[in-house]
Structure 1
Amino acid sequence: MTHPFKAVGLSYKTAPLAIRELIALDEPACRRFLDTLHQELGLSDLLVLSTCNRTEIYYASDRDQSPAIIEALGNLKGVADMVAYYEYFNLYNTADKAAQHLFEVAMGLDAQVVGDLQIANQVKMAYQWSADADAAGPFLHRIMHSVFFTNKRVQQETSFRDGAASTSYAAVELVEELTTDFASPRVLVVGLGEIGADVCRHLTNNKSFADVTICNRTRSKAELLAEECEGLKVIDFENLAEALQDADVVISSIARDTPYFTAEMVSRLEVLSYKFFIDLSVPRSIEPEVEEVPGILLYNIDAIQGRASEALERRLAAVPHVRAIIGESIAGLDEWSREMMVSPVIQKIKGALEQLRQEELDRYQKKVSAEEAKRLDDVTKSLMQKILKQHVLQLKAACKRDDADQMIDVLNDLFDLERQQATA
Structure 2
Amino acid sequence: MSEKLQSLSLSYKRTPFEIREKLTLSEREIRDLYMKLKDVFGIKEALIISTCNRTEIHYRSEADISNSLIRLLASVKAIDSNELTGYFECLTSEEEALTYLFEVSLGLHSQVAGDQQIINQIKQAYQWAADMDMAGTFLHRVLHTIFYANKRVVQETEFHDGAASTSYATIDLMQSILPAMSQPKVLVLGLGEMGEDVAKTLFEKEIRNVTLCNRTFEKAETLAATYRYDAMSYFELINRIGEFDIIISSLRLMQPLITKNVLSKRNGITYCFDLSIPHSISPDVAELPGVVFYGLDEIQQITDESIDKRLAAIPAVKQIIAELVNDIDTWSKELQVSPTIHKLKNALEQIRQEEMARHLKGLTEEEARKMEKITSGMMQKIIKMPVLQLKAACKRGEAEELIDFLTDLFDLEKGSVKA
For Structure 1 versus Structure 2, the TM-score category normalised by the shorter chain is over 0.9
Q: Which residue in the other structure is 2:5 paired with?
A: 5
Distance of 1:411 and 1:421 partners within structure 2: 13
Q: Which residue in the other structure is 2:68 paired with?
A: 68
Distance of 2:47 and 2:197 partners within structure 1: 26
Q: Give the TM-score normalised by the residue count of structure 1.
A: 0.92
> Of residues 230, 245, 263 in structure 2, which corresponds to 1:266?
263
How far is the alpha carbon of 1:75 from its aligned partner? 3.2
Q: Which residue in the other structure is 1:391 paired with?
A: 386
Question: Aligned with 1:251: secondary structure?
Answer: strand
Q: Which residue in the other structure is 1:236 paired with?
A: 233
Once the two structures are superposed, what CA deviation does each residue of 1:366-401 show, in whole Å capped at 9, x if it has no partner? 433455445433432332223223322232233234
> Of residues 343, 346, 352 in structure 2, which corresponds to 1:351?
346
Q: Report if the CA contact (8 A) 2:410-2:417 is conserved.
A: no
Structure 2, unaligned stretches of length 5 or more? Answer: none
Letter in 1 for 2:131: D
Once the two structures are superposed, what CA deviation does each residue of 1:163-217 show, in whole Å capped at 9, x if it has no partner? 001111111111111222224332111111111111111110002x111111111
Letter in 2 for 1:400: K
Decide whether aligned partners of structure 1 residues 143 and 191 sit closer, same or farther in structure 2, where only a CA change above 3 A counts.
same
Distance of 1:26 and 1:178 partners within structure 2: 38
How far is the alpha carbon of 1:407 from its aligned partner? 3.6
Q: Which residue in the other structure is 1:282 paired with?
A: 277
Q: Which has the larger displacement, 244-253 or 354-363?
A: 354-363
Distance of 1:307 and 1:83 partners within structure 2: 43
- 1:309-324 mapped onto 2 (5 Å cutoff): 309-324=304-319
Letter in 2 for 1:105: V
Distance of 1:384 and 1:420 partners within structure 2: 17
Letter in 2 for 1:215: C
Distance of 1:183 and 1:13 partners within structure 2: 43
How far is the alpha carbon of 1:136 from its aligned partner? 0.4
Q: Report if the CA contact (8 A) 1:256-1:283 is conserved.
A: yes
Q: Which has the larger displacement, 94-103 or 406-415?
A: 406-415
Q: Report if the CA contact (8 A) 1:184-1:210 is conserved.
A: no
Distance of 2:80 and 2:243 partners within structure 1: 51
Q: Is residue 87 of structure 2 the alignment partner of residue 88 of structure 1?
A: yes
Q: Is residue 185 of structure 2 the alignment partner of residue 186 of structure 1?
A: yes
* RMSD (CA atoms): 2.2
Decide whether aligned partners of structure 1 residues 330 and 280 sit closer, same or farther in structure 2, where only a CA change above 3 A counts.
same
Q: Which residue in the other structure is 1:214 paired with?
A: 212
Q: Give the TM-score normalised by the residue count of structure 2.
A: 0.93
Question: Aligned with 2:180: secondary structure?
Answer: coil
Decide whether aligned partners of structure 1 residues 413 and 32 sit closer, same or farther in structure 2, where only a CA change above 3 A counts.
closer
**Would you say how many aligned residue pairs link Structure 1 and Structure 2?**
418
Distance of 1:243 and 1:374 partners within structure 2: 91
Q: Report if the CA contact (8 A) 1:188-1:243 is conserved.
A: no
Decide whether aligned partners of structure 1 residues 410 and 145 sit closer, same or farther in structure 2, where only a CA change above 3 A counts.
same
Question: Aligned with 2:6: secondary structure?
Answer: strand
Distance of 1:142 and 1:361 partners within structure 2: 40
How far is the alpha carbon of 1:329 from its aligned partner? 0.6
How far is the alpha carbon of 1:416 from its aligned partner? 4.0
Structure 1, unaligned stretches of length 5 or more? Answer: none
Once the two structures are superposed, what CA deviation does each residue of 1:336-380 show, in whole Å capped at 9, x if it has no partner? 111112112211211220221122123224433455445433432
Q: Which residue in the other structure is 2:39 paired with?
A: 39
Q: Is residue 406 of structure 2 the alignment partner of residue 411 of structure 1?
A: yes
Question: Aligned with 2:85: secondary structure?
Answer: helix
Distance of 1:254 and 1:422 partners within structure 2: 80
Distance of 2:321 and 2:371 partners within structure 1: 50
Question: Aligned with 2:179: secondary structure?
Answer: coil
Question: Aligned with 1:113: secondary structure?
Answer: coil
Distance of 1:94 and 1:105 partners within structure 2: 16
Letter in 1 for 2:113: V
Decide whether aligned partners of structure 1 residues 212 and 421 sit closer, same or farther in structure 2, where only a CA change above 3 A counts.
farther
Decide whether aligned partners of structure 1 residues 180 and 26 sit closer, same or farther in structure 2, where only a CA change above 3 A counts.
farther
Distance of 1:334 and 1:152 partners within structure 2: 20
Q: Report if the CA contact (8 A) 2:242-2:263 is conserved.
A: no
Question: Aligned with 1:87: secondary structure?
Answer: coil
Letter in 2 for 1:139: F
Question: Aligned with 1:88: secondary structure?
Answer: coil
Q: Report if the CA contact (8 A) 1:38-1:46 is conserved.
A: no
- 1:287-298 mapped onto 2 (5 Å cutoff): 287-298=282-293
Decide whether aligned partners of structure 1 residues 9 and 176 sit closer, same or farther in structure 2, where only a CA change above 3 A counts.
same
> Of residues 239, 250, 262 in structure 2, which corresponds to 1:253?
250
Q: Report if the CA contact (8 A) 2:186-2:245 is conserved.
A: yes
- 1:110-129 mapped onto 2 (5 Å cutoff): 110-129=109-128
Q: Report if the CA contact (8 A) 2:159-2:314 is conserved.
A: yes
